[in-house]
Amino acid sequence: MLLRDISIGIKNLIKWTPIIWNDRQWDHSFFYKILKFKLNKMEKYLRHNGHHIGVEKSADKIKVCVMLLNRLIEDNYFDIVFRPHDKKWGESKMYFKDNGYLEIEYPNVKTEQDKVNQKKDFKNRMSGVEYLNKQDLEYLFDILNKNIRNWWD
């Protein structure tokens, strides 16, 4: 038993070393990566070695968590939400004015009314970015909250 525990411990050290080595304290994505790594291991373990009733369902829920973590790590909500904005208003061009202020121009903004509409569209889409991120985060932790105590044999 002791040799088995030592063997498992050494294997864990080897598997976890790249994750821990690359961990940093300044960004939530590092937390997501650690959680994703652990959940990936749990899902594989349950699918191959799980014994409890509903083990496939448990593994499927863990897989959903991993998929949500992938979305949160990739953090491309802005790109998804702003694709239609860029299509309608054109690719933004940024430059600094002589007074030092940053100016953003859109090629399809021709009139003052266009400018008002573009800014309103931009603001609404920023809310959409935050909404999608928050939705994924809440769904992830809702699944964890309801199931984590049941994912063990």
**CA 76 to CA 36: how far, in whole Å?**
17
Question: What is the token pair recorded at 67?
Answer: 């998929």
The pLDDT of 56-73, averaged and rounded, is 97
Per-residue pLDDT tens over the stretch 68-119: 999 999 999 999 999 999 999 999 999 898 888 898 899 999 999 999 999 9
Contact criterion met (CB below 8 Å) for 139 and 68: yes
Whether the pLDDT of residue 63 is over 90: the answer is yes
Per-residue pLDDT at 41: 95
Token pair in block for residue 8? 């498992």
**What's the pLDDT at 50?**
83
**Higher pLDDT among residues 153 and 40, named by residue:** 40
Whole-number pLDDT of residue 153: 64
Q: Where along the chain do its domains lie? A: 2-150
Mean pLDDT of 23-31: 91
Non-local (6+) Cβ contacts of 72 within 8 A are 29, 32, 133, 136, 137, 140
pLDDT at res. 53: 87
